Structures are given as C-alpha cells and as structure tokens.
C-alpha cells in the first residue's frame, strides 16, 4: 500500500482513506510555485468523499487554481456499505461546484472516454485554469479485501455483479480494437502471453528473494 518511486515522479501512496488527496495538492502547489508544466493527479474511491480532507483539498486547490486532477473511482461501495448509506448526495462530481471547480461524471469502464476527458482536464490545468474533479463510474468484482464476491453477505446480487462483469473495460477495448482492425487476433494472443510471462517472472522473483533483515526495519522510513 505504501509505494514510492520518485524517479518516475510518483511521490507515494497511502493506506489511509483519502490520504493521497492532500499530498497531490501539495505536489501541485510545488509545481505551481516552480512554474513547471506538470500536473498532479490523485486517485481515490467513493469512500474518500466522506473524508473532511477531500473538501479541504478541493477548496485549497480551487482557491489557488492549482494544476491537480482529482480522480474518484466510484465503485458504489465503501468497504461493505453502499454509497447511498454513506453520502446524502451520491453525485460526487457535484461536490466540486461549491469550490468553483468543474466536476464531470463519466463511464469509468470506457477507456477512450476516460482518456479524452482526462486529456481535456490536464490541458485546462496546464493553462492555469486550475483543478478538475472526475467521477469515474466503475465497479469492483471481488470484495473489499480478498477474493470473495460478497454476494453471501447480502451486499449485492449476482445479477448486479454479472452486469458489471459483462462491462469489463479490458474486453470492451479489446473488442473495439479487433473490430476496427487495429489489433489482430494473433497480436492479442502474443500480448496476453507476454503479460502472463511477466507476471509469472515477477512472482518467481518475489518468492525467491530473501526476507528483509531485522536491522532494516526502519530503512527508508525516516530521512537519513
């Protein structure tokens, strides 16, 4: 959960709900002060819309017109609770209006729609027009934690799950590429085999790697 890779300009992630939102705003403030052309992006779930820091961050980013894109991946369930039981207004994108920030709700399972909308938001941020809130409607197939489907818990029906599984964004894009002859069946098979191989190699590397030593417990935790 706590991944950092500064070399590719990924400042870090957090296990805290909504924890990356203020971090992204801080990065955007830094970019603005330095006059850089980059744009900061933060991804979070619909559950984060119930955190106070979400609104504080929207306000600060909107006030200073910071180059940051807020991307809410709304899968309709916050842990084990439907969004309607968490928020009085489930239209998350509408929450941007109070801070004079454009909010857009889109089909998060449509790759091309997400790409096109994000491109416009990034272009707007680079022109000094400030942030955008994107609410991407999507769905989680498995439970909040683990491989279970949560059907036995009464959280959702099998019909609802099947509906969203049939709207798989990867399969939809794959079908589009094949229908428009952008991708051939042979290329699709080769790509799948390459991906499977890369995953297997990564798993083997992880399993064969030695466990950390006790004296490395605090390594990379504090600045040395």
Which residue carries 């941020």 as its tokens?
Answer: 125
Evaluate whether 68 touches 28 at the Cβ level (below 8 Å). Answer: yes
Residues 8 and 44: their CA atoms lie apart, in Å, by 20
How is residue 67 written in tokens? 């180059």
How is residue 40 written in tokens? 């900061």
Evaluate whether 24 touches 48 at the Cβ level (below 8 Å). Answer: no
Could you read off the pLDDT of 31-76 as tens digits, one per residue?
A: 999 999 999 999 999 999 999 999 999 999 999 999 999 999 999 9
CB atoms within 10 A of CB 48: 22
Q: What pairs with residue 135 in β-bridges? A: 72, 105
Predicted local confidence at residue 119, as pLDDT: 98
Pairing between strand 68-74 and 132-137?
parallel
Segments in 40-157 forming alpha helices (H): 52-63, 111-126
CB atoms within 10 A of CB 133: 27
Sites in the chain below the pLDDT cut of 50: none
How is residue 144 written in tokens? 């909040």
How is residue 135 written in tokens? 């609410």
Predicted local confidence at residue 152, as pLDDT: 82
Q: What is the pTM of this model?
A: 0.89
How is residue 118 written in tokens? 């994000």
How is residue 202 written in tokens? 């990564």
What 8-state DSSP symbol labels residue 5? Answer: B
Residues 201 and 79: their CA atoms lie apart, in Å, by 32
Residues 116 and 140: their CA atoms lie apart, in Å, by 23
Could you read off the pLDDT of 149-166 as tens digits, one per residue?
A: 888 888 899 999 999 999
CA dist list (Å): 56 to 62, 63, 96: 10, 11, 11
Predicted local confidence at residue 151, as pLDDT: 86
Domains and CATH numbers, the chain: 6-138 (3.40.50.970), 158-224 (no CATH)
DSSP-based three-state secondary structure for 134: strand
Q: What pairs with residue 70 in β-bridges? A: 42, 133
Predicted local confidence at residue 61, as pLDDT: 98
């Amino acid at each position: 959960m706590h991944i950092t890779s500064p070399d590719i300009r990924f400042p870090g992630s957090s296990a805290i709900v909504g924890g990356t939102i203020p971090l992204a705003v801080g990065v955007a403030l830094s970019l603005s002060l330095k006059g850089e052309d980059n744009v900061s992006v933060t991804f979070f779930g619909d559950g984060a819309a119930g955190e106070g820091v979400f609104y504080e961050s929207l306000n600060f980013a909107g006030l200073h017109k910071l180059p940051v894109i807020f991307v809410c991946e709304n899968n309709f369930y916050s842990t084990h609770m439907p969004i309607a039981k968490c928020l009085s207004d489930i239209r998350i994108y509408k929450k941007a209006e109070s801070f004079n920030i454009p909010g857009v709700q889109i089909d998060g399972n449509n790759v091309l729609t997400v790409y096109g909308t994000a491109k416009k938001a990034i272009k707007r941020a680079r022109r000094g027009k400030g942030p955008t809130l994107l609410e991407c409607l999507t769905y989680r197939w498995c439970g909040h934690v683990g491989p279970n489907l949560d059907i036995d818990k009464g959280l959702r029906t099998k019909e609802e799950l099947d509906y969203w599984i049939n709207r798989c964004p990867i399969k939809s894009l794959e079908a589009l590429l094949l229908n428009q002859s952008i991708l051939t069946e042979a290329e699709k098979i080769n790509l799948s085999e390459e991906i499977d191989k890369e995953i297997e190699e990564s798993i083997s590397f992880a399993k064969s790697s030695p466990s950390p030593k006790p004296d490395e417990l605090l390594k990379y935790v504090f600045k040395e």
